[in-house]
Amino acid sequence: MRKLAAGNWKMNGLRADGVALAKELAARAAREKIASEILICPPATLLFPVAAVLDASGIALGAQNCHAEQKGAHTGEIGAAMLRDVGCTYVILGHSERRAEQGESDAVVCAKVEAARAAGLSAIVCIGETLAERDAGHTLAVVERQLQGSLPTGLNPAELVIAYEPVWAIGTGRTPTADQVAEVHRHIRRLLATRVAEPAAVRILYGGSVKPANAKELMSIPNVDGALVGGASLVAEDFWAIVKACG
């Protein structure tokens, strides 16, 4: 399976920085042969200019959210078909920051995954436990509940990527041990059998403080099929080191 190295820029970047970063990544992609698939997910304001930079670079473009409806009276929202129209092929859904700050429930995420599928986007569905849930021994149950609640049935593997992102590892510099990552990814792989016809073909990314220094080890864990990278994706050299660690 081709690993996926995905950069989530979150709410960072004005036009000049975003375009410069995308140009640097496109230049590196043109110079070096990279086996993994590369994806960047800038904020919505940068999708259009970054799409122009990435054209023919081989780097895919993704968004960080979409609405559950394609269009209509939803002030301030963006529909999945609009994202597809601007050049996106992926959309991150159910990121823990949105679950916490916007109160997105599994049901809302599920409706957004349906919308993404209808528009021809692959959904990167984020799941993961808080520190309190891990300490209480509930990690596998939390991940199971989120996965069952956030995924419609009948998805095909190309329409779906899962990102396991322990909330306590995001932006904190802390990462789970290799055994902890392996345990959760194995569990997710098993659970996928209830949702998709070919569970082995769905990529399961690890996310949470992935850095150049730990990427190789994380990417060598069984059932880790790539990385979802926040902070380190804002620095071309760091993101590129992670891209290369993905193989």
Residues belonging to the active site = 95, 165
User: Rounded to the nearest whole angstrom, what is the least distance from the CB of residue 226 to ligand PEP in the complex?
Assistant: 12
Q: Is 129 in the site for ligand PEP (CB under 6 A)?
A: no
Q: Is 230 in the site for ligand PEP (CB under 6 A)?
A: yes
Where does this chain touch ligand PEP (CB under 6 A) — which range of 42-50, 54-62, 146-154, 204-212? 204-212
Instruction: Give whichever of 80 and 242 is closer to ligand PEP, judged by the CB atom.
Output: 242
Q: At what angle do helices 15-31 and 236-245 cross, to 10 degrees?
A: 40
Residue from 207, 218, 240, 245 in contact with ligand PEP (CB under 6 A): 207
Q: Is 42 in the site for ligand PEP (CB under 6 A)?
A: no
Show contacts with ligand PEP in window 57-76 (CB under 6 A).
none
Q: Is 209 in the site for ligand PEP (CB under 6 A)?
A: yes
Number of C-beta neighbours around residue 1 at 10 A: 12
Give the Cα separation of 86 and 47 in Å (integer).
Answer: 7
CB 2, CB 201: distance < 8 Å: no
Q: Length of the chain, please?
A: 247
Number of C-beta neighbours around residue 103 at 10 A: 8
Residue from 42, 128, 208, 226 in contact with ligand PEP (CB under 6 A): 208
User: Rounded to the nearest whole angstrom, what is the least distance from the CB of residue 33 to ligand PEP in the complex?
Assistant: 25
Beta strand ranges found along the chain (DSSP E) = 4-8, 37-41, 60-63, 90-93, 122-127, 160-164, 203-207, 226-229
CA 98 to chain centre: 13
Instruction: Give whichever of 55 and 90 is closer to ligand PEP, judged by the CB atom.
Output: 90
In angstroms, what CA-CA distances link 229 with 25, 38, 164, 193?
Answer: 15, 11, 12, 26
Q: Is 7 in the site for ligand PEP (CB under 6 A)?
A: no
Residues engaged in binding ligand PEP (CB under 6 A): 8, 165, 170-171, 207-210, 228-232
